[in-house]
Amino acid sequence: MSKDDNSVHIFQGLLILGNVVIGMCGIALTAECIFFVSDPHGLYPLLEATENDDIYAAAWIGIFVGFALFSLSVLGITGVIKSNKTLLLVYIILMLITYAFEMASCITAATHQDFLTPNLFLKQMLERYQKMETDNNNDKWMSEGVTKTWNNLMLQNHCCGVHGPSDWQKYASAFRSSYNDADYPWPHQCCVMDARGSPVNLDGCKLGVPGYYNSNGCYDAISGPMNRQAWGVAWFGFAILCWTFWVLLGTMFYWSRIEY
Amino acid sequence: MRGNWIVLAFCSLGQLYADQSLKPQTAAAQLATNNPTLTTIALEKPFCMFDSSLHPNKSYTVYLYAMMELAIAISSLVTDNRSKPLDSTFQQTSGGRLGPYKAALFNVPNCASPPNLADVGDINKVSDVLKQYLFRVGNDETCLYDPNFLDVCNPPLTPDTTYRFKYMLVDNTDCIMKDQTLWSDPIKTRRVKLPMKIDTGPGRRSGGMIVITSILSVFVFLLLSGFLASVSSTVRVLPKGRSRLLRPPKWSPCDHPGHTEPAPN
């Protein structure tokens, strides 16, 4: 029955190849999610203050799912080579559980990315930036996080506000209640700074003279990294799941055909 | 001879006409993009507006008066009956509600050599250019509360209010008004919107999210049904005698003395 043997060997080879790919993708997913969780752009306090930081939850799940995929792929390869029914049954059940978690992570990342609109960050910036009278410790923590993040954002990216400096003029804000309009039409971090970190010309900045204030908005600097994170977690996870689907179906078929 | 008189009459009429149309203007919008703000308004200084009234050997000062538009009904006089400029302050007129108040004093701007606005790009010259070109009404936050402040106080204006301004040329020796511009067009300070009115809803669901959710749901369903199918096929594929699940329990004659083994199914 060499033809049968051949087809069995080919099928085994395909399953092993599938599992190798799953293992590598699992490591890649873990690495990608660790990168996102480490928050290289320092934007996490903004999400934390919106109380909508589920794209970080999705990344955390991704770390553990990636590692689980790698371990299970090793188990799967062993099971296929030995044609051991018990090993493969354990593999299938654990893979289904991992599949469910990864599915949750993908859907969470994709769904919550839709919530990250300019208005969300605008409202949060106006309500929390430089908020002095905080209600409780949680409020204080979030407001300090938002203030620090925005100061860094504005200084490093040479931008101001979400749409532009006019945000500070169009809307009332916590900043406006602490800082008067005549001296601070917008925060001084919006001014073009010299090498020592002070505005080049404060009057020019206050009047809005071109060249002495940053006229572009910071939304691109915020949404760029966040969208990349959400898309990276959601779509890479989705791709892994599409591949894993076929490997799992093949493994179930192989398992059902193993003789005791 | 008569022609000369006619020309002179026309000229002076023309001058008067020119003076009548001169009003304070807001600073150039390309230069001062943030104007007016909530509490300040930047006005262009009166370049070449008073030149016909300037005497070469005398010194003059320009006074700036500001008032709210609703004060027109009460009073819009900036001089008393002897042409002396009104010495009203921000506090006396309740911020311009009861009449004009004196907001600033400065030297007559140089008509012959006005500041070059292109110099704004130079860091060293920008302060001077701004100082010579415009004046920011409402710039001084602290003078109202400083008892030692002796200069003309220029406190912040009220948001969402219409103001009007007037420049006046005053002779320094006898402190008499020599010339004045018209009241400016109404200029309104900005108003603010409340941030709680901002709509932070996400709007429509994105296509990507719908694709991921639907496809993954189908996959999970297929996987679970495939798992059930393979488990049930494993259970059924073994023949009945050898199936561990379907084998009857072991029966021993020693447990039930007097009975023989029942016939196999």
Distance from CA of B218 to the nearest CA of A (A): 11
Greater model confidence, B237 or B43:
B43
Give the three-state DSSP class for B210: helix
Cα separation, B62 vs B7, in Å, equals: 31
Distance from CA of B8 to the nearest CA of A (A): 44
pLDDT in tens, B142-178: 888 888 888 888 999 999 999 999 999 999 898 898 8
CB atoms within 10 A of CB B83: 12
In this complex, how many residue pairs, one in chain A and one in chain B, have their CB atoms less than 8 Å apart?
169
> Is the CATH number of domain A118-218 1.20.1270?
no
> Using CB atoms within 10 A of its CB, is residue B234 exposed (0-12), middle (13-18) or buried (19+)?
middle
Q: Does B220 contact A at CB distance below 8 Å?
A: yes
pLDDT at residue A27, as a whole number: 97
Q: Is the peptide bond before A45 cis (omega within 30 degrees of 0)?
A: no
pLDDT in tens, A10-32: 999 999 999 999 999 999 999 99
Which residues in chain B (56-95) have CB-CB distances under 8 A to chain A?
Answer: none
CB atoms within 10 A of CB B3: 7
pLDDT in tens, A83-92: 989 999 999 9
pLDDT in tens, A211-224: 999 999 999 999 99
pLDDT at residue B260, as a whole number: 54
pLDDT at residue A223, as a whole number: 93
ipTM associated with this complex = 0.86
**Is 80 exceeded by the pLDDT of residue A162?**
yes
In sequence order, the 6+-apart residues with CB closer than 8 A to the CB of A132 are A174, A177, A178
Q: What is the mean pLDDT of residues B53-58?
A: 85
Cα separation, A66 vs A231, in Å, equals: 16
CB atoms within 10 A of CB A61: 20
Q: What is the DSSP letter of B193?
A: B
Categorise residue B206: left if φ over 0, alpha if ψ from -120 to 50, beta otherwise: beta
pLDDT at residue B83, as a whole number: 85
**Is 70 exceeded by the pLDDT of residue B239?**
no
Cα separation, B3 vs A252, in Å, equals: 114
Residues B64 and B170: beta-carbon distance below 8 Å: no
pLDDT in tens, A226-240: 999 999 999 999 999
**Is 50 exceeded by the pLDDT of residue B80?**
yes
Instruction: Transcribe chain A into DSSP letters.
Output: -HHHHHHHHHHHHHHHHHHHHHHHHHHHHHHHHHHHHT-TT--HHHHHHHT--HHHHHHHHHHHHHHHHHHHHHHHHHHHHHT-HHHHHHHHHHHHHHHHHHHHHHHHHHHHHTT--HHHHHHHHHHHTT--S-SSHHHHHHHHHHHHHHHHHHHHHT--SSS-THHHHHB--HHHHHS-TTT-SS-GGGBPB-TTSSBS-HHHHHHT-TTSB--S-SHHHHHHHHHHHHHHHHHHHHHHHHHHHHHHHHHHHHHHH---
Amino acid at B207: G
Q: What is the mean pLDDT of residues B172-188?
A: 91
pLDDT above 70: percentage of residues in chain B? 81
B192 closest CB neighbour out of A123, A170, A249: A170
**Is 90 exceeded by the pLDDT of residue A70?**
yes
pLDDT in tens, A173-226: 999 999 988 899 999 999 999 999 899 999 999 999 999 999 999 999 999 999
Q: What is the mean pLDDT of residues A37-62?
A: 91
Q: What is the mean pLDDT of residues B114-142?
A: 89
Q: What is the DSSP letter of B172?
A: T
Residues B99 and B88: beta-carbon distance below 8 Å: yes
Closest B-chain CA to A211: B121
**Chain B residue numbers touching A245 (CB-CB < 8 A):** 219, 222-223
pLDDT in tens, B7-48: 444 444 444 334 446 889 999 888 899 889 999 999 999 988
Written as six digits, the tokens of B45 are 């200084």
pTM for the model: 0.82
Closest B-chain CA to A193: B123
pLDDT at residue A157, as a whole number: 94
End-to-end CA distance of chain A, in Å? 19
Q: Which of A89, A256, A257, A260 to mutate to test the interface with B (most CBs of B within 10 A)?
A: A256
Written as six digits, the tokens of B58 are 């005398």
Q: Which stretch of A28-37, A124-133, B251-260 has the lowest confidence by average pLDDT? A: B251-260
Beta bridge partners of B61: B107, B170
CB atoms within 10 A of CB A157: 16
pLDDT at residue B219, as a whole number: 96
Q: What is the mean pLDDT of residues B62-69?
A: 92
Written as six digits, the tokens of A212 are 């002495």
Q: Does B111 contact A at CB distance below 8 Å?
A: no
- Report domain extents, chain A: 1-116+226-257, 118-218
Q: What is the mean pLDDT of residues B220-226?
A: 95
Residues A60 and A242: beta-carbon distance below 8 Å: no
Nearest Cα to Cα of residue B40 among B129, B136, B171, B151: B136
**Is 90 exceeded by the pLDDT of residue A255?**
yes
Distance from CA of A178 to the nearest CA of B (A): 13
Q: What pLDDT band is residue B213 in, cutting at 50, 70 and 90?
A: very high
Q: Which helix (H) or strand (E) holds B164?
A: strand B162-171
A172 closest CB neighbour out of B123, B192, B233: B192
Average pLDDT, chain B: 82
